[in-house]
Amino acid sequence: MIALITIPVAGSFAQTPKKKVIPVKKPATQAATAADIKEGEALMMKSDCFACHKVDVKLVGPAYKDVAKKYPATAANYTILAKKILAGGSGVWGQIPMAAHPQITQADATKMVKYILSLK
C-alpha cells in the first residue's frame, strides 16, 4: 500500500475535482450522428471520391444513392464498406476497380460511409 502513496507535487492535482461525467465512448461503427454525416461529407470533399462518384448518377463508380439503396445503414455495413474504401477493389458493381485509399483511416472511412448511406 505504501508504495502507492505519492506526494502531490505542486500543480499535479490542480485540475478541478472530477465530476461524474460518464464519457460517451461510442465505437466508430455505431449509429450515425448528424455530426458524423457532416464530417464524412467534408472528408470526401477533400479526398478524390467525387472524381469517380456522384450522388445521383453513375460515373466511374456507382451513384452514392444507389450504394445507399443497396446497403441499409447498419454497423455491419459501415464496417464492410469502410474496409472496401481503404482496400479498393471491384466486382460488386462491375469490373472497374475502385482505387485503394491507404492514407484514409478506418474511422474516417466509417464517417464517409455514414454520409453515403444517409443519402436515401
Residues in the annotated binding site for heme c? 49, 53, 98
Helices (H), 7-74: 34-46, 49-52, 64-70
94 belongs to the binding site for ligand HEC (CB under 6 A): yes
76 belongs to the binding site for ligand HEC (CB under 6 A): no
Closest to 79 (Cα-Cα) out of 102, 110, 116: 110
102 belongs to the binding site for ligand HEC (CB under 6 A): no
Closest to 62 (Cα-Cα) out of 27, 102, 90: 90
49 belongs to the binding site for ligand HEC (CB under 6 A): yes
Q: How many CB atoms lie within 10 A of CB 109?
A: 25
Q: In the complex, what is the shortest distance from the CB of residue 100 to ligand HEC, in angstroms, rounded to a whole number?
A: 10
What is the grid cell recorded at 85?
Answer: 474504401
Q: Which residues bind ligand HEC (CB under 6 A)?
A: 44, 47-49, 51-53, 60-62, 67, 81, 84-85, 89-94, 96-99, 101, 104, 112-113, 116
